Copies of this chain bind each other. A is one copy, B any other.
């Protein structure tokens, strides 16, 4: 499944050494910049050619109808789709009379670098026009981590061998033409000209455009301003229309002379404020950017990232491919979440229009575990976003005939947008996944404020959901029927193991939180009868097991289903493109980890032997047609001792986009898989787990990784964990806060400043030999 490398293996950057047209879309995503608020795909400065032009603002979407040929009660009628907003990335260049275009004239060199420490995308071009005029272009682009509403481009053109007339047209363009929608349901529906002009102005050395979406009625503003450094005279003029603004600079350069233009971009949007207020917000952002200047913005960016890497970096000795991939992953997860600030972190971040820009359970399930350890403020913000849509979730629960809150399977603004209920509404587990993230945030960070402000609400309302949907049978056993677990090649099944265990965990967490905050619980109307009912359900939860096979069942009766005929399949393509759900749902074939995910997230509910046997059973029938699988398989394979297989899966998770393993990186990056790559390494090879608030570690490295060092935050302290094949050392990096108790290979230990804990690696013999995957589905290491 691993394609050839497009980007050379380097520790701190992702470099595209040449422009390959069939990788253009992938690079637009891979080299994308963002800060969680603004996202810029790595479209070329001159705009063309492109696969998908993309500029996104977190939370800014258009509504679209969801037409059902056969409708049903409770089906969402309106979808939400991320909008490609006014494009400010555009800087077109004319060399004498010739527009610069990579496919015309002669491209002597073209190189782009995503710098993971500087947080910029650098481009260097050596181009000769069809008329024989040669120029060098250097552009550097950033989306500021420190000024949320600001992006900037430093653009420089140099004449190389002749005097040339240089014309630079810097633009804002709304309603760019987008690609046609695909028949593949995963590809976002394209929206035609979603932005209606509201107003436009020239400003200083630029302009501001205001637009409103036609159906969702969201207002946005985009502005640009410029600073010019020219060796001689130049002319400047600005033109503005409803859907575009253009500032043009013209000058003449002698060989060796350079024209440098710094373009500042400011964005703002609102569902309620006036056009005037939004216009002023844009202008204010531009003023702030101009005050810092290019050098100031770049310096702030580097400082922000230095601090990030200092407490987030993962170092891998012996596998430079994985080293690069995990830093790439951490960088993009940061870009998705850093300044999301109570807006959603979508499955693709702000890197592309895939999945309509929706946020799924991916956020709480895969992205927040990582952010909780390396950027806890971003995790808290994401959970506060969840809380901000609690009213919609309550309303959705009522629609479904349930109590409490039913969070949406996919959404931007909070309303359920899933148009296929067996894989949306029925995936009730996401509510327990949210509850887990709430609880985990408190346990890992020690920060009680989230639970106090809004976490308790979410724990209580999800607990209410579970008891209203589940029921006790005649023997008192508690069941959750007719739900869909993580594996999307099953649906609407009874007693999905993952769902049952996660629901029980949700219920227990709600009971404990109410006990911690009796007054707040009382305000929410939670009395002892209610918490007793939650506990009774959790304690009576059904755990489906096939005693004869000695394995847990993914759901009731799963291991009795017919086997899947893997031989008949189309290798390399998802089964769902060649088989109907009718067949997939009731055969023993698994799209993505489900029991195996339960063993990761509800680790204490399984014995070591059960884990080994379950991994062995489910490995043989899992096809990983979802990018949410390899990381989890990696963690559990590591735990049961299949370290080489774990290494393969870690590679697959980390390389999903760098190697385009699902052949759709052009629609945006797979944030959950990228975050999962961190889990593969830190939770898999590092053996990191929690028992309540107690951190536990149990590093064991595969052969190909000779050393591993990772940093994280826990209880407000910063830790460094170092391991090789012989020794583990855990260092507390902060002076304050006293001793840090944790568990290392199940031994209770304590670290203190200047007193690292060091132990020999504890060997582990796997119970079973390394299992086979279905024919053609074995992972390959890069």
Q: What is A's interface to B at a CB cutoff of 8 Å?
A: 65-74, 79, 183-187, 399-402, 418-423, 425-426, 471, 473-474, 479, 481-482, 491-492, 494, 548, 556-557, 560-562, 568, 576-583, 585-586
Q: Is the CB of A474 within 8 A of B548?
A: yes
Chain B residues within 8 Å of A187, by CB:
67, 69
CA distance A561 to B580 in the complex (A): 27
Query: A79 — nearest CB in chain B belongs to which residue?
Result: B69
Selected contact of A183 from candidates B71, B185, B399, B561, CB within 8 Å: B71
How far, in Å, is A485 (CB) from chain B's closest CB? 14
Query: A68 — nearest CB in chain B belongs to which residue?
Result: B69
Known: A474-B548, A492-B491, A586-B494. A400 touches B580 (CB 8 A): yes
Q: Is the CB of A582 within 8 A of B184?
A: no
Selected contact of A421 from candidates B65, B401, B423, B582, CB within 8 Å: B582
How far, in Å, is A395 (CB) from chain B's closest CB? 14
Q: Is the CB of B582 within 8 A of A74?
A: yes
Q: Is the CB of B70 within 8 A of A69?
A: no
Known: A68-B69, A73-B579, A420-B70. A557 touches B560 (CB 8 A): no
Selected contact of A576 from candidates B73, B423, B479, CB within 8 Å: B73
CA distance A223 to B581 in the complex (A): 48
Q: Is the CB of B421 within 8 A of A580?
A: yes
Known: A481-B562, A556-B557, A560-B473. A185 touches B582 (CB 8 A): no
Smallest CB-CB A-B distances: 8 pairs: A482-B586, A69-B419, A471-B562, A74-B580, A481-B586, A66-B69, A70-B420, A67-B184
Interface centre among A401, A482, A583 (most CB of B within 10 A): A482
Q: Is the CB of B580 within 8 A of A420?
A: no
Chain B residues within 8 Å of A577, by CB:
73
CA distance A577 to B494 in the complex (A): 24
How far, in Å, is A679 (CB) from chain B's closest CB? 28
Q: Is the CB of B419 within 8 A of A70?
A: yes
Chain B residues within 8 Å of A579, by CB:
73-74, 401
Q: Is the CB of B586 within 8 A of A72?
A: no
Q: Is the CB of A582 within 8 A of B69?
A: no
Chain B residues within 8 Å of A568, by CB:
401
Chain B residues within 8 Å of A494, by CB:
557, 586
Chain B residues within 8 Å of A585, by CB:
482, 492
Query: A400 — nearest CB in chain B belongs to which residue?
Result: B580
Supplied contacts A65-B184, A69-B187, A401-B568, 19 more A-B pairs, CB within 8 Å: A67-B69, A67-B183, A67-B186, A67-B187, A69-B79, A70-B418, A70-B420, A70-B423, A73-B580, A401-B579, A401-B580, A421-B581, A421-B582, A425-B582, A481-B586, A482-B582, A492-B492, A492-B586, A557-B557
How far, in Å, is A72 (CB) from chain B's closest CB? 6
Q: Is the CB of B422 within 8 A of A578?
A: no
Q: Is the CB of A400 within 8 A of B582?
A: yes
Q: Is the CB of B421 within 8 A of A560?
A: no
How far, in Å, is A416 (CB) from chain B's closest CB? 11
CA distance A417 to B455 in the complex (A): 47
What are 25 contact pairs spanning A and B, CB under 8 A? A67-B67, A67-B69, A67-B186, A69-B187, A70-B419, A70-B420, A71-B183, A71-B185, A72-B576, A73-B579, A73-B580, A399-B580, A400-B582, A400-B583, A401-B579, A421-B582, A422-B422, A422-B492, A425-B582, A471-B562, A474-B548, A481-B586, A482-B582, A492-B585, A494-B557
Selected contact of A578 from candidates B73, B425, B491, B583, CB within 8 Å: B73
Query: A419 — nearest CB in chain B belongs to which residue?
Result: B69
How far, in Å, is A67 (CB) from chain B's closest CB? 4
CA distance A218 to B408 in the complex (A): 45
Chain B residues within 8 Å of A65, by CB:
184
Selected contact of A561 from candidates B186, B421, B481, CB within 8 Å: B481
Q: Is the CB of A401 within 8 A of B581?
A: no
Chain B residues within 8 Å of A492, by CB:
422, 491-492, 585-586
Chain B residues within 8 Å of A419, by CB:
68-70
CA distance A125 to B42 in the complex (A): 77
Query: A420 — nearest CB in chain B belongs to which residue?
Result: B70
How far, in Å, is A467 (CB) from chain B's closest CB? 11
How far, in Å, is A43 (CB) from chain B's closest CB? 28
CA distance A401 to B570 in the complex (A): 13
Chain B residues within 8 Å of A556, by CB:
557
Chain B residues within 8 Å of A562, by CB:
471, 481
CA distance A462 to B581 in the complex (A): 21
CA distance A548 to B420 in the complex (A): 37
Q: Is the CB of A580 within 8 A of B471?
A: no
Chain B residues within 8 Å of A79, by CB:
69
Query: A578 — nearest CB in chain B belongs to which residue?
Result: B73
Query: A583 — nearest CB in chain B belongs to which residue?
Result: B401
How far, in Å, is A469 (CB) from chain B's closest CB? 8
Chain B residues within 8 Å of A561, by CB:
471, 481
Chain B residues within 8 Å of A184, by CB:
65, 67, 69
Query: A64 — nearest CB in chain B belongs to which residue?
Result: B69
Chain B residues within 8 Å of A425, by CB:
580, 582
